[in-house]
Amino acid sequence: MSINILMPSLSPTMTEGILQKWLVKVGDQVKAGDILAEIETDKATMEIEAVDEGKITDIIVKAGTKGVAVNSIIAVLNNSEKDVKNIIKTDIQENKFKIKDKKVKMVEKKLVDTNDSLISQKKSITKKNIDIIASPLANKIAKIKNINLNSLTGTGPAGRIIKRDIEKLDRQDHPLISSAKYEIFEPSSIRKIIAERTTQTINTVPHFYLKIESEVDKLIILRNKINAQSLDNKVSINDLLVKALAIAQNENPQTNVSWFKGKIIQYSSVDVSIAVALKQGLITPIVKNADSKGLLELSKEIKILVKKAKEGKLVPEEYQGGTISLSNLGMYGISEFTAIINPPQSSILSVGSIQKTTKVNENKIEIVNILKSTLSADHRVLDGAVAAKLLKDFHDIIENPFDLWLQSKDMEVI
């Protein structure tokens, strides 16, 4: 009996995917657990495993095929001659309908073309004896660009065709760009999802923004001391910020919520999503229970997640969910910015680069390191004071990072 291998749904947002590569061929014998192919989803490239045992008799979808619908047949195990005949019979029946449908469409197209032709002839006859009035500049541009002035309607005096009429034609045929040379290409699956979700989020989630500046000299000193003792694993400022944000949210459970279909979801764990930039778009791997993990453990986990994200090897449970996000553009020299909330979360913290500035302390001018942070919050579930308390606690932790060290069980005495 033949067994169909279907295109799997590897994430809640996945409706179709790209079958990147087959790792088996027709004639191969497979058993449950064997890797069959690589599928590119809306977030990552993943491997699919065989569920049943048998012989690959048919590969329906070729490697490299885009837009393969979820639950469609991509291959068949143990296909018998009888099954082949049934498939052929079904295909013939489907093709009959396709041919019939094609004939109907051809007749419809012929009628439309005939109608268009009559309209075109009528226009031609109407315009035949009418002189085209155009400005000298419009005539010159039309000749250079090989534009038929008969196809234009003038907006100048007495219907005169002028320069802007030709520019309007250009704008209709081409995207609004400043360069005459450009390339149009198909966006990646990740980019399509980002476009859809960010547009939906910014239009449906009422954002408000809170900003704060923090002196992080002590945070830098702590990082340097940790790294002086740890030879194998160096802790980054971003690792410390993730831990600080996790502690702050743990101290403010009323911010650990989501709005979903008119209900409020309260979470019991603190799972911090980290924005990672890829060539094809953005992905947010999650550090789960980040508030309870030591700094060294957290730092190692972040490095593994970032590496897997860049290699396209994250599994859905490693990037779906999360209770709050951290987006850091400091490495690009950005001093501050505001980010769009990553649903279903209710807040995202964006941080910029650490910058030196001057400060007056007891009538003395000092140079201090400043970090600017912006919290984007969902007003459906978070009020200003609640979100402000979360940001203030984060600020206090990174200004006096004793709690970062104290709550990290893998830290030595420093």
The catalytic position among 174, 207, 379, 395 is: 379
Could you confirm whether 174 is annotated as catalytic? no
CA distances in angstroms from 70 to 35, 86, 195, 197, 272, listed in the order given: 18, 23, 21, 20, 30
Pick from 337, 340, 321, 341: nearest CA to 329: 337
3-class secondary structure, 6: strand
- Supply angle C-alpha 128, 130, 132, rounded to 5: 105
- Residue 373, phi then psi, degrees to nearest 5: -125, 145
Q: Which residues contact 33 (CB under 8 A, 6 or more apart)?
A: 49, 50
Q: Is-contact 235 219, C-beta < 8 A?
A: no
Which among 241, 227, 247, 237 has a CA at the least distance from the CA of 326?
241
Three-state SS for 312-373 is CCCCHHHCCCCCEEEEECHHHCCCCCCCCCCCCCCEEEEECCCEEEEEEECCEEEEEEEEEE
Q: Which two tokens stand for residue 14?
A: 């996945």
Amino acid at 209: Y
**161-197 burial by CB neighbour count: b if 16+ within 10 A, else e?**
bbeebbeeeeeeeeeeeeeeeeeeeeebbbbebbeee
- Per DSSP bridges, beta strands 324-328 and 272-274 are parallel
As a dihedral over the C-alpha atoms of residue 153, residue 154, residue 158, residue 163, rounded to 10 degrees, the angle is -170
Which are the contacts of 378, defined by CB distance < 8 A and separation ≥ 6? 205, 206, 207, 259, 341, 345, 346, 347
Q: Give the residue numbers marked as catalytic.
A: 379
